[in-house]
Structure 1
Amino acid sequence: MLDKRYQVFISTSGSEMQPERIVVSQTLVGMGFFSWGLEQRTPLSTTFARRQIDDCDYVVVILGSQYGEQSVSGVGYMHLEYIYAVTKQKPIIAFIHEDPDSRDESLHDEKPELREKFKEFRKIIMQEVDQIFTYRTMRDLELAVRLNMSQILERYPVLGWVRPQNTQALHDEIEALKAKIVQLETSAGTREADPFLNVQKVSMHEDFAFEYRMHAYQDGNFKELNAMRRMKWAQLLSVLGSAFINPTPEDFFSKCMNEYLNETGLSDAQEEMPRVHAIARAQINVRALHAIKMQMRENDWIVPSGRDDRQRMLWKVTPKAKRLLESNLLDNDRTLQFRSQN
Structure 2
Amino acid sequence: MSQKKRYHIHISLVRNENLYLENALEYALSTDYFLTWDLLATNTNFVEYSRQQIDQCDYMIFILGNDYGHLSLSGVSYLHLSYIYASSKRVPMIALVNTQLNQNELLRQRLDLFNLVIKEQGLRVIHFGQTHDGVSECVRMLGEIKEKFPRLGWVKDTRSLSTLPAAASGDLKSMFVSDRFHIRNGVQPALTDSSLEGTQQSPEAEARPTQVTPKELNEALLVNYTAHAFEGGNLQEISATYTFSWGNIVQTLQALPQPFTSNMMLTQINDSLKDAAMAEALKISPNIHAVSRCQISSIDYQWIKSQLVKKRWLSSVKEGRSIRELWQINIIVQA
- TM-score tier, shorter chain, comes to 0.3 to 0.5
TM-score, normalised by the number of residues in structure 1 = 0.43
TM-score, normalised to structure 2, is 0.44
Q: When you count helix as a share of all residues, which structure comes out higher? A: 1
